[in-house]
Amino acid sequence: MKSRKLGNQGLEVSCIGLGCMGMSFSYAPFPSESESIALLQKAVEVGITFFDTAEVYGPFSNEVLVGKALKPFRNKVKIATKFGFNIVDGKMAGVNSRPENIRKAVDGSLKRLGIECIDLLYQHRVDPNVPIEDVAGAVQDLIKEGKAKYFGLSEAGANTIRKAHAVHPVSALQSEYSLWTRQHETEIIPTIEELEIGFVPFSPLGKGFLTGAMNKDRKFEAGDIRGVIPRFSEDARVANQALIDVIAKFAELKSATNAQIALAWVLARNPMTVPIPGTTKIHRLIENNAAVEIEFTKQELLELTAASEKVKIIGSRYTEAQEAATGL
């Protein structure tokens, strides 16, 4: 596995990371602990060095799982986690990035992960009630204390990114980005490129849709957030199949799978971009990793981008309540 830099402060990770959320949060049914540990350790074996979790995934259980699985490989991997929510009775209860809550969250994450220092510490969602300068200052203090190494933001806007970066360098921005979610290209991506901040796209496979394995008859189990997302309604899936058809043509051209084409497109957008597709299956992990070997000519990339832009995507990426509460 090749590596890439995230930001210019020294963070370097594998070209593709692993999003761990779905092993215990949002995409039920969940695999057993032993299955998840086997997958996480296989990921290390095949060259992945970048693992993404958060205190709210579970809540808490995902960090425990990741810490347990990666304990034997601590010197080989980079672990990213996130703060920024109130957690009440085991559920998210609004954003909270007050400095005292950041410190409490980080101490809890360190304990659950079984580590002394968090490699990449993200603010999970912007808190409108706390100036981002205060957030950056609190993270800077934690970095000085050795509890974190690098600072990241998630789903933040351009102005917020600039203000935070002026207080303490931001190494990475994590936001949703894929062939069917591209709103950040207008302002946010140009901003992070200007500031030399790395980009970590989550859901680069469109929560599984871009793989082509999800037809109109797919039924989502209770606990799978896709069951209520407008973009995954039966009508939307039928309409959005046009994008799958575009991807499939390039997959045939490159002797690749749809997932590999979708990931290769994300990887080709910028050399400081590291997508973090999630999976609970080892064969999908291997398939996703192979995307790093796919190279587009300049013309092929232009053609794929142009063809995908002709498809009108139906359905919003979240319900209004999900967008307001978590934006996951």
The pLDDT, as a whole number, for residue 110 is 98
Q: Where does 114-197 have alpha helices with state H? A: 132-144, 158-167, 188-195
Query: Whose structure tokens read 């299955």?
Result: 35
Sequence-separated (6 or more) residues with CB below 8 Å from residue 297: none
Beta pairing class for 85-88 and 78-83: unpaired
pLDDT tens readout for residues 191-236:
999 999 999 999 999 999 999 999 888 999 999 999 999 999 999 9
Give 224-279 pLDDT, tens digit per residue.
999 999 999 999 999 999 999 999 999 999 999 999 999 999 999 999 999 999 99
286-315 pLDDT, tens digit per residue, is 999 999 999 999 999 999 999 999 999 999
Looking at residue 324, its pLDDT comes to 67
Helix (H, G, I), strand (E, B) or coil at 327: coil
Question: Alpha-carbon distance 12 to 14, whole Å?
Answer: 7
Q: Are strands 91-95 and 85-88 parallel, antiparallel or unpaired?
A: antiparallel
**Residues labelled catalytic:** 57
- Rounded distance between C-alpha atoms, residue 67 and residue 80, angstroms: 11
Distance in angstroms (rounded) separating the CA atoms of residues 303 and 133? 42
Q: Provide the whole-model pTM.
A: 0.97
Pairing of strands 3-6, 11-14: antiparallel
Place of tokens 């979610």: 181
Cα–Cα distance between 328 and 323 in angstroms, integer? 8
Q: What is the mean pLDDT of residues 143-162?
A: 98
Structure tokens at 104: 């409490």
Alpha-carbon gap, residue 14 to 82, rounded angstroms: 20
Name which of 163, 51, 63, 162 is nearest 107 in CA terms: 63
DSSP 8-state code for residue 21: G
Q: Which residues pair with 87 in a beta bridge?
A: 92
Is pLDDT at 8 greater than 60 in this prediction? yes
Beta bridge partners of 278: 19
Tell me what pLDDT residue 322 has: 75
pLDDT, tens digit, 9 for 90 and up, residues 108-141: 999 999 999 999 999 999 999 999 999 999 999 9
- Cis ω for the linkage preceding 275 (within 30 of 0): no
Q: At which residue do the structure tokens 């039924």 appear?
A: 219
- pLDDT per position as a tens digit, 14-73: 999 999 999 999 999 999 999 999 999 999 999 999 999 999 999 999 999 999 999 999
Domains of the chain listed by start with CATH number: 3-209+270-292 (3.20.20.100)
In Å, how far are 42, 194, 315 from 28, measured between CA atoms? Answer: 22, 39, 22
**In this predicted structure, what is the pLDDT of residue 325?**
58
Local confidence band at 92 (pLDDT 50, 70, 90 cut-offs): confident
